[in-house]
Amino acid sequence: MGNKLLEYELIRLARAGDSEAFRQLVDAYADLTGRLAETLLGGDRRAAEDALQEAWLDAWRSLNRFQLDKPFRPWICKLVANRCRMNQRRRHFQTVPLDQLDLYANPAVEDAATPVLRAETRAEIKALLGELSPELRLIMELRYFVGLEVNEIAGITGQPAGTIKSRLHRTIEKLRARLQTKMQIVGE
């Protein structure tokens, strides 16, 4: 949601009991929170939908405690992440099925490569991500598939923002080098 004044007004109205204002907040963040829940729950859409419903219910119930001087986006992401964690405690941990992910579904992550190059490297990228530890894979997915900012990822994972930033940087460099090496081998 781009307009902070509109967001502030919607929150104020929702606090006063305006369900339509709250519905507009839900709609504004539906795509982001949906991608977040699905990523955190290993691509399980049904579990993601359940976690989202519970998270938005939590948001409705605790909206009066939301600090209006703080941004809404990290707050709702944290609620979603907490609900996803609760959901995971009820079942065993699953990894994201990379073969089902559309690596370029998030318009916030735009690659300068041509569509042909995208298709050729897609399998390589999936394979490389599959080689990462679950922790690094989650950080990469939250940043590049969900589109979260470093501070939001830090809030969700409980790690310092500097740690997230350095892990992203090192992992990208490592993946870039490995992909270049693989592409050179193919080109020979």
Q: What CATH number is attached to the domain comprising 128?
A: 1.10.10.10
Lowest mean pLDDT among 53-57, 68-72, 117-121, 146-150: 117-121
pLDDT reported for residue 114: 47
Are 37 and 81 found together in one domain? yes
> CA 128 → CA 132, 134, 184, distances in Å?
7, 12, 16
Closest by Cα among 143, 54, 69, 74 to 106? 143
Are 110 and 157 found together in one domain? yes
pTM beyond 0.75: the answer is no
pLDDT reported for residue 49: 93
Q: What is the mean pLDDT of residues 57-66?
A: 92
Closest by Cα among 156, 144, 160, 185 to 74? 156
Q: Supply the range of the domain harboring residue 13.
A: 4-89
**Tokens linked to 69:** 């001087």
Burial 51-68 (b: 16+ CB within 10 A, else e): bbebbbeebeeebeeeee
Are 76 and 132 found together in one domain? no
pLDDT reported for residue 99: 52
Are 18 and 42 found together in one domain? yes
Report the C-alpha gap between 64 and 60 in whole angstroms.
8
Is residue 120's pLDDT more than 80? no
pLDDT reported for residue 97: 53
Are 18 and 37 found together in one domain? yes
Contact 71, 29 (CB under 8 A): no
Lowest mean pLDDT among 17-26, 118-127, 178-187: 118-127
Q: What is the mean pLDDT of residues 26-49?
A: 91
Are 40 and 66 found together in one domain? yes
Contact 130, 98 (CB under 8 A): yes
Domains contained in the chain, number: 2
pLDDT reported for residue 108: 45
